[in-house]
Amino acid sequence: MDIDPGFLEFESRLSRPLNLKIPDLQHGGRLRHVLFASQFNLPLLDRLGKVADRIRTIAKSREGHRFLNSLLSHKRAMLYFSQPSTRTFLSFSAACQILGIACNEVRDPATSSESKGESPLDSIRMFSSYFDLVIMRSPVSQFAECCAYMMNELEQEDRRSVPIVNAGSGKDEHPTQALLDMYTIQRAFEFRHERDSSQWSKYDEMRSKYPNVRRGIDHKIIGFCGDLRRGRTMRSLAQLLALHQEMTMIFIAPKHPSLSMPDDLKQLLMDSGVRVLEADSFETPIGGVPVIEQLDCLYMTRIQTEHNSAQDKVDFAAIDFTNYKLTRSLVQRMKEYAAILHPFPRDKEFGEIPPAVDRDPRAHYFRQARNGMWARAALLAHIFDVDGAISDYYEDYTKRKPLAPP
Ligand code: CP
């Protein structure tokens, strides 16, 4: 996609430090546009997690389903995805349906008037004429950000303006993936949910085997493996995990300039108090113990070959990638309560996680994808200020009908 000439108008805002941008993306104490993982803080993540739990509980009954469905039945959303997607597109679409939001989509700009020369910025402005929310994925970094500034200008001019949600932009950010990843990790380490925590009923037994294990994300050792430089999901998630106390992050990737951990992110994490370590493989000893045996959580990623340069192709042929693939025997050496996540898609040819691992109780990646629907529904409820109504309904609902944990 060519850079839209309209970007130039926003250049001074795009080049600001992140902390100066955040206030432009809020409204009345709520997120209005969702562009960056760093817009979420721990209290907000906690609130969104609770709302997601409540939605998934309420949605189980027909009556609850009808209530949720009535909340935003006066709203319409445009899903504008000019990059391929399965999970993000479908989970946003399902989240909208849960809350009664009607959806429409443009998944291939070649089928829109962009094929006649219309600029993507004009497309977004047109969507805002017909819809109340634009959820967008773009190969162009900062395009969603430009759209948010355009909406802010329209609002200032008292014209029609809608929230923009970044569903993945270029190589930089995938904030709602980070939101669902945090929700998944939080639930795994609560050890309370039968379906989400492999050892949920065995917390005391785990404590006897692993005396240092505690509920919650603080003090955990998180491994990230694979394509760490070009992976926008890893970049967004690491920043949110860094909000927790006493975190250790171990980055496992080939030492190659297209794959290894970027220095700016490393510095950002260290400045946040994270203990940052790098390893060549799962067998690299840290304090005398192989990495794989130390991890509380392992975040696997796909090698994004679609971004390879000609030189990358030559260089990668010389790398032993078996060091960056899980096997059943590696997984069996992990802590019993450890959680394995992957944003998916996984690469069936490369095989960073073979299907043989899927049945292991440590494999959380399918429930992680389903959690995306609940976490995104909670985010939409927050944006449109119906999360309070959901909590009130939940209180009343659980009084009438005592429930097992969601
Ligand atoms: N994790 C993720 O973004 O998946 P999709 O590309 O299928 O949306």
Mean pLDDT of each 10-residue bin along the chain, 406 residues long: 74 95 96 97 98 96 96 98 96 98 94 93 96 96 96 97 96 93 95 75 85 95 96 92 98 96 95 97 97 98 93 95 97 97 97 97 97 98 98 92 62
Q: Is residue 336 part of a domain?
A: yes
351 lies in the same domain as 389: no
- The ligand 1 site (C-beta within 6 Å) comprises 85-89, 168, 177, 343-345
Q: Which CATH number fits the domain that encloses residue 140? A: 3.40.50.1370
- Determine how β-strand 289-290 pairs with β-strand 285-286: antiparallel
Q: Is residue 405 part of a domain?
A: no
* Res 402: pLDDT: 63
Mutate to test the pocket of ligand 1, among 79, 80, 88 (most ligand atoms within 8 A of CB): 88
Domain count, the chain: 2
- pTM for this structure? 0.95
Q: Is residue 150 part of a domain?
A: yes
339 lies in the same domain as 382: no
* Res 3: pLDDT: 60
Mutate to test the pocket of ligand 1, among 79, 80, 87 (most ligand atoms within 8 A of CB): 87
Q: Is residue 376 part of a domain?
A: yes
Q: Is residue 282 part of a domain?
A: yes
Q: Is residue 309 part of a domain?
A: yes
306 lies in the same domain as 186: yes
201 lies in the same domain as 340: yes
* Res 202: pLDDT: 75
144 lies in the same domain as 132: yes
Residue nearest (by alpha carbon) to ligand 1 atom 5: 85
Domain that holds residue 364: 175-369
Q: Is residue 88 part of a domain?
A: yes
* Res 404: pLDDT: 58
